[in-house]
Amino acid sequence: GKTLRIVLGDQLDSQAPLVTDYQRGDVFWMAEVAEESLHVPSHKARSVYFLSAMRHFARDLKSRKQAVDYHALDTHSWSTLEEALRAAIDKHSPEEITVTEPGDRRVAEMLRGTADSVGLPLHIYSDTHFFSTIDDFHSWASGRKSLRMEYFYRELRKRYGVLMDDDKPCGGKWNYDGDNRESFGAQGPGLMSQPTTFKLDKITRDVIALVNERFPDNPGSTERFDWPVTAQQAQEALQDFIDNRLVGFGQYQDALWHGEPWLYHSRLSAAMNLKLLNPRDVVAAVERAYRNGYVALNAAEGFIRQVLGWREYVRGLYFTHYDRFAEGNALEASADLPGFYWTGDTDMACLKDAITQTLDYGYAHHIQRLMVTGLFSLLFGVKPEQIHSWYLAIYVDAIEWVEMPNTLGMSQYADGGLMASKPYVASGKYIQRMGNYCDQCPYNPAKRSGENACPFTALYWDFLIRHEQRFSDHPRMALQVRNIKRLSHQEKSNIRDTVRQIRNRITT
Ligand code: FAD
Ligand code: SF4
C-alpha cells in the first residue's frame, strides 16, 4: 500500500532508511509551516537554513523521479504542522505514515496523536545518522549512578574503533584536555583565515526574502547568511575545516577573542544536525588527518570527543531523561531573561560581543555559549524555561535534542547534576584569562563589589552566598563555597548592594 513518508526539516539525510525504502506509489511529504519559526521566535538565519536546506533536498528527491508533495510557506495557509499533515492525509489517503525519530518531543507527540486520531499506523524509523541508538544509551545508563560523558565516549571509541591502536587508545591516553585549555595570550590569534563561504543560489535568495517578509519581528539578521545548505556544500565545509582550522582546534577550543566569531571551530553543527553531513564522515576525516600526520593527536582527539562523545551523549540524555531537563529547576532560578539577550545592547563587553555575533550569524562557539551567555544566565538566576527558549530560538544549529541538555543540564544545572558534576560557575576572571574581552570593558573582572565591579564577579560571589547551604557538603563545590568564609560581614553586604544595583539596571 501507499506510504506517506514525512521528511522533517532536520531529517535531510538521503541515506536514511525513510528515504531508501521508498517504493513506487509512496509519497514524500514535506511542509514549511509558520509554527516552526514562531513557537520560539526563531533567528531569521535559522529559519532560512532550515527552509533552504529542505527545498534543496526536495529538489534532489524530485530529480530522482520520486513523488514529493512539498508545501512551501508562501503557498498555503496552514499555520501548524498538524493541520498541514491532516490535509495531506486527506489528499493522499495513505495506508501508513512513516517518519524518522523526530529530534523534538513536541513534534513526536503531535505525529503520534495525529496518526492515532485518523486511525493510521505510524512507523517510526530509528535514526541511523547517529553512531549509537537510544537503546544503546539506555542500556549503558541504566543502573549507573553517575552518567559522565567520558565513560560513554570511551565505549563508543572501542565499539567503533575510533582513534584506537588495537585495543588501546591512540597515544596511550583517552583524554588530552590537559593540552587543550590555552588562551591566545596578549598577542591574540593573529590573522585567522576566513572559512569558505557559499554563494547564495536562487533557492536561498527566495527563502531569505520570504523569511524577512513573514517573520520581520523575529531576532537576528540574514545579511551574512553563507552556511552550507546541501550535502555537497557540507562536504566542502568539512574539508575547509580539516585543511585550515582543525590544527588549532584542540589547543584553542576554550579561547575567546573579541570580533573573531569562528576561531578554530568547525561551524559544522547545523549541517550535521540537519543531517546534511554524516558524523561518521566527520570523525573519519579527522582521524585520517591525524594518521596522515597533518594534525596532532590532541587536536584530533579534542574534536572527536565533541562529535563522538558529547553529541551522542546529549542525545541519549535527552531521550532518556527528558523530564529531568524539562521540569528541573534545581537552583530555584526565578529571574526573567535580560532584554539585552535579544538585542546585544549592554555595556558588558563579553556579552555584547557574543550576543551581537549571535544576532549577525546565528552562531557562537561553545565557550561563548557556556561561559559568557550561559554563565551570566546561571549566575543571574534566569528561569530555566526562558533561557531554554532563547537558546532554542537563536542558533542555526538549535534542535531540542541537543539544545536542551546543553542548556538546562551542562550550562544551567537545572537538572540538579544529572549531566554536570557541579554548576559551571566562575567569576569574570575566567573570561579575562581566556581572551581579551575585559580589556575593552568598563568593568573590572577582579572587583566583586563597588564601582566598576564586574557583574560576573559580583554575581559569582552572590551565587556562592545564596547557595552556601546547598553546596557546603557537595564534594566538588565545597571548596569553592568555603571561600566565602573569608569574606567579612561588610564585604558580603557590599556584594549584595552591588548585585542589587546590577539587577536594577538590567531590564527584561
Ligand atoms: P565545534 O566547536 O567545531 O565542535 C564540533 C562539533 O562537536 C559541533 O559541530 C557539534 O556537533 C559537536 N559538539 C560540540 N560540543 C557539543 C555539545 N556540548 N553537545 C553536542 N554536540 C557538541 N550544539 C548544537 O548543535 N545545537 C544547539 O542547540 C546547542 N546549544 C547549546 C547550548 C548551550 C548552552 C551550550 C553550552 C552548548 C550548546 N551546543 C549546541 C553545543 C556547542 O556549543 C555547539 O555544538 C557548537 O558551538 C557548534 O559550533 P561548531 O560546529 O563550530 O562546533
Ligand atoms: Fe565581561 Fe566582566 Fe570582563 Fe566586562 S569585565 S568583559 S563584564 S567578564
Q: Which of 390, 508, 351 is nearest to 43 (CA)?
A: 390
pLDDT of residue 179: 85
What does the domain layout of the chain look like in residue ranges?
3-125, 134-193+245-320, 339-505
User: How would DSSP label each residue in 210-262?
Assistant: HHHHH-TTSSS-STT-----SHHHHHHHHHHHHHHTHHHHHHHTT---TT-S-
The topology (CATH level 3) of 134-193+245-320 is 1.25.40
Instruction: Report the DSSP beta bridge partners of residue 6.
Output: 29, 99
- Enter the CATH code of domain 339-505: 1.10.579.10
Whether 183 contacts 255, CB under 8 Å: yes
Total residue count of the chain as it appears in this document: 508
Q: State the complex-level ipTM.
A: 0.99
Spacing, Cα 267 to ligand 1 middle (Å):
9
Q: Given ligand 1 and candidates 273, 341, 366, which is best to mutate, with the most ligand atoms within 8 Å of its CB?
A: 366
pLDDT at 146 (0 to 100): 82
The ligand whose atoms approach the alpha carbon of 310 most closely is 1
* Cβ contact 371:431 at 8 Å: yes
Helical (H) or strand (E) element with 99? strand 96-100
* 433 phi/psi in degrees, rounded to 5: -65, -35
Index of the ligand 2 atom closest to the CA of residue 437: 6
pTM of structure:
0.98
Give the β-pairing of 164-165 and 168-169. antiparallel
Q: Which ligand is nearest to the CA of 130?
A: 1
For residues 303 and 309, what is the distance between their CA atoms, to the nearest angstrom?
Answer: 9
User: And the C-alpha cell for 333?
Assistant: 532560578
Instruction: Report the C-alpha gap between 33 and 80 in whole angstroms.
Output: 6
Please determine, looking at this structure, whether the domain spanning 3-125 carries the CATH number 3.40.50.2020: no
Extract the runs of DSSP E, i.e. beta strands, from 355-459: none
Query: What is the predicted pLDDT for the residue at 508?
Result: 86
Q: Greatest CA span in the chain, whole angstroms?
A: 78
Q: Which residues 6+ apart lie within 8 Å of 196 measured at CB?
A: 236, 237, 240
Q: Which amino acid is at 27?
A: V
Q: What is the mean pLDDT of each run of 10 residues along the chain (508 residues)?
A: 94 98 97 96 98 98 96 93 96 97 96 97 97 96 90 97 97 92 91 93 98 98 98 98 96 96 98 98 98 97 98 97 96 98 98 98 98 98 98 98 98 95 96 97 98 98 97 93 95 98 95
For every residue of 432-499, which 3-state class applies, written as one string?
HHHCCHHHHCCCECCCCCCCCECHHHHHHHHHHHHCHHHHCCCCCCHHHHHHHHHCCHHHHHHHHHHH
Is the Cβ atom of 269 under 6 angstroms away from ligand 1? yes
Closest CA to 265 of 303, 300, 298, 235: 303
